[in-house]
Structure 1
Amino acid sequence: MQIPSRRQRLAALRDVIADIERKPALLEPVERPAGHEHDDFPVLPGGLVQEVFADDLRTGGASLGFALAQARQLISPRRPAIFYLSLAGDAQKQGLPYGPGLSWAGIDPARLVLVQAANMTELLWAAEEVIACRAVAALVAEVRGEPKLLNFTASRRLSLRAASSKVSLFLLRYGSGRASSAGHLRWHLGPERSGRLAYDERAPGAARWIVQLEKGRIAGNRTQWVLEWTKNGFATVAQHAARPGRPAAPVSGPVPAVLGHRLSQAG
């Protein structure tokens, strides 16, 4: 019989303590893939339920990109597929992942399976079935509003299923409400000023986002990152390197007190 290593014993002890305290265990990042050794954002293991919150639907693309960038790192020969699950009505209004955009982000569109459910009952059923499949790397499920069926009991079922099958679930949520859930991690994404282009500092660079860890703990106890979208995923930007403010250009000539801007003077 193989004797558990010290790291395995510590991980088991953390799980026991976390279960007693009803708090998520301290998550240890896994080894980074080749070419990403210097990134600051951790590569998290499979089998987690991660809630990704954005304030409104306008930042839904950032939430999806954040989830897919993590899901891409979980793909392996034994787990070649990523599922995207949403309500059919929401997909008609919000749209679906775009194939060429997925390719630019380093994800083969052929690996993404799109599933549309008629209602929340079907969505939760489909989520459990997908998570139970051990050929799946991750499931990204988009849920608008605060549906009553997605309560703590439902999230607990999803959490247990994910932990058992090692399939990660990314729940994309919107708004400021935070209902109780059994998710391991909860993220909040907000916009950040982009960097400058190397050949034109006045032009906007790649999009950046502030990612805040609201629930859960990761080794190192860091809770905030600034991420920049790049080809094949995202890169971590040092917060002190965020784009500095630029003073406003002076206005030539006096502006009448009655007029707050020069648009009405155009003629």
Structure 2
Amino acid sequence: MRNKLASSDQLEALRALAPALAATSGHDVGGGRFATGLASLDDHLGGGLGAASLHDLYAGAGGDAPAALGFALGLAWRAAQATGERRPLIWGLDEGSRREIGRPYGPGLAELGLDPERVLLVEVRDAAALLGVGEEALASPAVGAVVLGAWGESKVFSLTASRRLAMAARTAGRTLMLVRAGADPTPGAAETRWRVRAASSAPLEAGAPGHPAVEAALIRHRGGVAPRTWIMEWDREQRSFIAPPPLSGGLVSRPADRAGHASAPGEGLRRAG
């Protein structure tokens, strides 16, 4: 996992990397839709998520931030793969995210089936710099997809800023995942808006740890697709979201919006390092 530490020259450093990245990738512009791998979700969205789009993901509670980031990374990886070339992911994190949930761990990404060498980590001080990273990253045709992680409420995440990011994603033909924790959903220009929580995974054979699992609730879709909630697992071998194994007995499905739910401290996407 390549890392650029936070500094006053953060955006300049990212710009300087663009030529090197471009040397390893083509320059075609993506678009269309990309599949998550989970058939029920992809069918509900008419073939998957918009590739040339901004998608907002909100952690259900502070302890769900790792789950939300893991969900975003899985989606971004599949979006990048859909371009047909080995383009890297740009992963931007603000200081609040690093303070609350820690810095990313390369071996943990490998455990998820993702190549740490194809993830460029950009650490910044605040939300304003994070948005700048998103726009600069999307401006490079060599980037496969972008994930931005922010912590806490901020006026910087305005409707105008959301429109700028959405336009940058549409112009570049690339996917941008904006992950926010410790914040309530706000109006924006994203194609989809999600609330993500950690979910329990089923153990594998011989009691081995199960696949990472999340509960992802679609709470808004600009195309008018109805809200719905899915429990899904991440298959590291296939690099795909899959349906969890059926549970024995009759259980009542959990509602899409459980305002009273609170995750336990440290609860998150398992096996993320």
Give the conservation status (yes or no) of the 8 Å contact 2:151–2:181: yes
- Which segment drifts farther, 230-239 or 106-115? 230-239
5+ unaligned residues in a row in structure 1: which ranges? 1-26, 247-267
Partners in 1 of 2:244 and 2:95 — Cα distance?
39
Partners in 1 of 2:85 and 2:236 — Cα distance?
25
Structure 1 pair 77–238 and aligned structure 2 pair: CA distance change class (3 A): closer
Structure 1 pair 181–79 and aligned structure 2 pair: CA distance change class (3 A): farther
Partners in 1 of 2:75 and 2:209 — Cα distance?
25
Task: Give a deviation string over 1:157-212, Cα, whole Å, max 9, x none.
Answer: 11111111012111111246221111111111123333244445xx8743422211
Structure 1 pair 113–30 and aligned structure 2 pair: CA distance change class (3 A): closer
5+ unaligned residues in a row in structure 2: which ranges? 1-30, 43-47, 252-273
Alignment of 1:15-30 (within 5 A): 29-30=33-34
Give the conservation status (yes or no) of the 8 Å contact 1:193–1:243: no
Partners in 1 of 2:234 and 2:198 — Cα distance?
12
Q: Indicate which of 28, 52, 55 corresponds to 2:60.
A: 55
RMSD of aligned Cα (Å): 3.1
* SS of corresponding position for 2:114: coil
Structure 1 pair 172–198 and aligned structure 2 pair: CA distance change class (3 A): same
Q: Indicate which of 226, 237, 242 corresponds to 2:243.
A: 237
* SS of corresponding position for 1:229: strand
Question: CA shift at 1:128, angstroms?
Answer: 1.1
Asked if 1:164 corresponds to 2:183, the answer is: no
In structure 1, the partner of 2:214 is: 209
Partners in 1 of 2:127 and 2:203 — Cα distance?
43
Asked if 1:148 corresponds to 2:159, the answer is: no
In structure 2, the partner of 1:113 is: 120
Give the conservation status (yes or no) of the 8 Å contact 1:29–1:45: yes
**Number of equivalenced pairs:** 213
Alignment of 1:68-107 (within 5 A): 68-75=73-80, 76=83, 78=85, 80-88=87-95, 90-107=97-114
Task: Give a deviation string over 1:197-247, Cα, whole Å, max 9, x none.
Answer: 4445xx8743422211001167985722211133244533269x246589x
Q: Indicate which of 172, 187, 192 corresponds to 2:194.
A: 187
Structure 1 pair 212–83 and aligned structure 2 pair: CA distance change class (3 A): same
TM-score normalised by structure 2 residue count = 0.67
Larger radius of gyration: 1
Question: CA shift at 1:151, angstroms?
Answer: 0.4
Asked if 1:130 corresponds to 2:130, the answer is: no
Paired amino acid for 1:236:
I
- Which segment drifts farther, 206-215 or 178-187? 206-215
TM-score normalised by structure 1 residue count = 0.68
Structure 1 pair 105–39 and aligned structure 2 pair: CA distance change class (3 A): farther
Structure 1 pair 245–207 and aligned structure 2 pair: CA distance change class (3 A): farther
- Which segment drifts farther, 217-226 or 71-80? 217-226
Give the conservation status (yes or no) of the 8 Å contact 1:194–1:243: no
Paired amino acid for 1:237:
A
Task: Give a deviation string over 1:43-77, Cα, whole Å, max 9, x none.
Answer: 43421111111122322221111111111112346
Partners in 1 of 2:71 and 2:35 — Cα distance?
19
Question: CA shift at 1:124, angstroms?
Answer: 1.7
Identity over aligned pairs, percent:
29
Task: Give a deviation string over 1:81-130, Cα, whole Å, max 9, x none.
Answer: 10111123532442222212212222211111111112222222222111
